[in-house]
Amino acid sequence: MATAHGEKVLKYLEENGTASSLKLAELWNEDHQKIVGTVKSLLCLGEVIEADLQSSALWDLTEEGKQVAKDGSHEAQVFNAIPPAGSTQAEIVAKVTEVNSKFTKDMAKVGFSKAMSLGWIVVDKSSGAPKFIKKVTSIQDKVQEHLKELATGKDTLTNELRTEYKKRKLIQEIIIKSYLMKPGPSFSTSVTKQETDLTPEMIASGSWKTKEFKAYNLNALGTPIPRGHLHPLMKVRAEFRQIFLEMGFTEMPTNNFVESSFWNFDALFQPQQHPARDAHDTFFLSDPSTATNIPVDYMERVKKVHSHGGYGSQGYGYDWKIEEAQKNLLRTHTTAVSARMLYALAEGGFKPAKYFSIDRVFRNETLDATHLAEFHQIEGVIADYGLTLGNLIGVLYEFFRKLGIEKLRFKPAYNPYTEPSMEIFSYHPGLKKWVEIGNSGIFRPEMLLPMGLPEDVSVLAWGLSLERPTMIKYGYDNIRDLVGPKVNIQMVADNPLCRLDKHRGSEMKETDDLQDLENRMDSIMTRLRGIETEVKKLKRQGKTTEEKLTLVIEADPKYPPRSIQTLVRLLVARGDARTIVTVHQHSSLASACPTDLMQWPNLTVSDGSRIDNQCNLTWIWKPIGRHPIVKIVNRPNGDIHGEAAIARLLARILESWTDCAMYENFDSSICSQIDDWLDTWEGCIQSGDSKFLMLIRRIQNQLGHPDGRKWLVGPLPGVKSLADIFLSNLLGDKLNTLNCGRKLARFSPVKGI
Residues engaged in binding ligand PHE (CB under 6 A)? 333, 335, 379, 415, 418, 439-441, 461-463
Residue 418 or 582: the one with the smaller Cβ distance to ligand PHE is 418
Question: Which of 392/471 has CB closer to ligand PHE?
Answer: 392
Of 226, 218, 251, the residue nearest 237 (C-alpha):
251
The neighbour count for residue 119, using CB atoms within 10 Å, is: 10
396, 380 Cβ separation under 8 angstroms = no
Name which of 338 and 582 has its Cβ closer to ligand PHE: 338
Query: Shortest Cβ distance from residue 381 to ligand PHE (Å)?
Result: 7
Question: Measured between alpha carbons, how far is 266 from 260 in angstroms, rounded to an integer?
Answer: 9
For residue 192, which of 46, 82, 408, 306 has the smallest C-alpha distance? 46
Task: State which residue, 282 or 439, has the beta carbon closest to ligand PHE.
Answer: 439
Closest CA to 572 of 691, 460, 657: 657
Is residue 261 within 8 A of residue 326, CB to CB? The reply is yes
Among the listed residues 366, 354, 451, 336, the one whose alpha carbon sits nearest the alpha carbon of residue 399: 354
Question: What stretch of H or E contains 349?
Answer: none
Residue 124 or 374: the one with the smaller Cβ distance to ligand PHE is: 374
Cβ closest to ligand PHE, residue 443 vs residue 681: 443
Q: How far apart are CB 440 and ligand PHE at their closest, in Å?
A: 5
Taking the least distance from each CB to ligand PHE, the nearer of 465 and 634 is 465
- Please identify, using beta-carbon distances, which residue of 145 and 251 lies nearer to ligand PHE: 251
Q: How many other CB atoms are there within 10 angstroms of residue 248's CB atom?
A: 8
Which residue's CB atom is positioned nearest to ligand PHE? 463
Find the shortest distance in angstroms from Cβ 658 to ligand PHE.
56
Answer yes or no: are the C-beta atoms of 438 and 422 closer than 8 Å.
no
The nearest distance, CB 433 to ligand PHE, in angstroms, is: 21
Give the three-class secondary structure for 490: helix
Q: Is 624 helix (H, G, I), strand (E, B) or coil?
A: coil
| Pairing of the two strands 549-555 and 615-621 | parallel
Edge-first strand listing for the sheet containing 353-362? 250-251, 353-362, 374-385, 457-465, 433-443, 418-428, 408-415
Structural contact between residues 431 and 437, judged by C-beta atoms closer than 8 angstroms: no
Of residues 69 and 471, the one with the C-beta less far from ligand PHE: 471
Instruction: Decide whether 415 or 729 has the Cβ nearer to ligand PHE.
Output: 415
Could you give the CA distance from residue 52 to residue 46 in angstroms, rounded to a whole number? 15
* Residue closest to 380 by CA, chosen among 404, 397, 363: 397
Q: How far is the CB of 460 from ligand PHE (least distance, A)?
A: 8
Question: What is the DSSP code (8-state) at residue 395?
Answer: H
d(CA 392, CA 440): 8
Which long-range contacts link 17-21 to residues 24+ away (Cβ below 8 Å)?
A: 17/182, 17/183, 18/180, 18/181, 18/182, 19/180, 19/181, 19/182, 20/54, 20/178, 20/179, 20/180, 20/181, 21/178, 21/179, 21/180, 21/181
Least Cα distance to 633 among 477, 523, 529 occurs for 529
Rg (CA), the chain: 39
Q: Could you tell me the smallest distance in angstroms from the CB atom of residue 437 to ligand PHE?
A: 12
Pick the closer one to ligand PHE by CB: 233 or 461: 461
Nearer to ligand PHE, 144 or 440 (CB): 440
**Which residues pair with residue 213 across a beta bridge?**
195
Checking phi first, is residue 637 left (phi over 0); if not, alpha (psi -120 to 50) or beta? left
| Secondary structure in 3-state letters for 105-150 | HHHHHHHHHHHHHCCCEEEECCCCCCEEEECCCCCCCHHHHHHHHH
Q: How far is the CB of 479 from ligand PHE (least distance, A)?
A: 17
Q: At closest approach, how far in Å is the CB of 274 from ligand PHE?
A: 13
CB of 611 to ligand PHE, least distance (A): 38
Give CA–CA dist 654/372, Å, rounded.
45
Q: In this complex, which beta carbon is closest to ligand PHE, that of residue 337 or of residue 617?
A: 337
3-class secondary structure, 696: helix
Phi, psi of 57 (to 5 degrees): -100, 145
Nearer to ligand PHE, 439 or 495 (CB): 439
Nearer to ligand PHE, 417 or 726 (CB): 417
Closest alpha carbon to 498 in 675, 218, 239, 206: 239
Task: Report CA-CA distances (Å) from 285 to 65, 258, 449, 543.
Answer: 71, 8, 30, 48
Least Å from the CB of residue 282 to ligand PHE: 12
Q: How far is the CB of 312 from ligand PHE (least distance, A)?
A: 21
Residue pair 233/467 in contact by the 8 Å Cβ criterion: yes
- The Cα-based distances of 662 to 54, 641, 646, 674 in angstroms read 17, 21, 14, 9
Closer of 333 and 622 to ligand PHE (Cβ): 333
Nearer to ligand PHE, 332 or 587 (CB): 332
Specify whether the CB–CB gap between 520 and 584 falls below 8 A: yes
Q: How far is the CB of 486 from ligand PHE (least distance, A)?
A: 26
